Amino acid sequence: MVDFDERIPIYLQIMDLIKKKIIKGDLKGGDKLPSVRELAVKLKVNPNTVQRVYQELEREGIIVIVRGTGAFVVSDEKKLKEIKESLAGERIKNFIKEMKEINLSKEDLDLLLSKYWEEVN
């Protein structure tokens, strides 16, 4: 199903995956996540890795683990906005770095962004 880049810690990639799903709306606030074992089989990764993912996500306040029942997405709108921003933030920073490397000014960047924003699907 999903092919992970094995050069980067897999748990981080799974966390990203879940965060993206939440932002896109595939996973809504209050939704129940698959059990550790189910997800491990689906993604073909070690169950301990999934366990770690859930624990980290809980630590970040994105999900809540209810003992005996499962893991649930948090229903906090503010939280979800935070996630979106942080996920986008990293990429934008990398992008800006690359643009600065080719000496693009912010004004040029704005123009190009408007030009290409509609084109890209």
Partner 1 sequence: MGVLEIKGLYKYYGKKCALKNVNLTGDFGEIVGLFGPNGSGKTTLLKLIVGFLRPSSGSIRVDGKDIDHNTRAIVSFLPDNNLLPLWMTIKDAFNFYKDFFPGFEEKRFKDLIDYFNLSMNRKVKELSKGEQEKVCLSLAISRKAKIYLLDEPLGGIDPASRERILTGILKNYREDSLMIISTHLISDVESIADRVIFISQGEILLNEKTEKIREEKKMSVDELFRKTF
> What is the binding site for partner 1 (CB under 8 A)?
4-11, 37, 40-41, 44-49, 52
Phi-psi map region of 30: left, alpha, beta (phi>0 left; psi -120 to 50 alpha) = left
Q: How far is the CB of 22 from partner 1 (least distance, A)?
A: 23
Q: What values do phi and psi take at 5, rounded to 5?
A: -80, 115
- Shortest reach from residue 99's CB to partner 1, in Å: 25
Minimum separation from the CB atom of position 81 to partner 1 (A): 29
How many Å apart are CA 121 and CA 55, to the nearest integer? 35
Residue closer to partner 1 by CB (options 60, 82) is 60
Alpha helices in 25-105 (DSSP H): 36-43, 47-59, 77-101
Nearer to partner 1, 55 or 84 (CB): 55
Question: Smaller CB distance to partner 1: residue 8 or 111?
Answer: 8
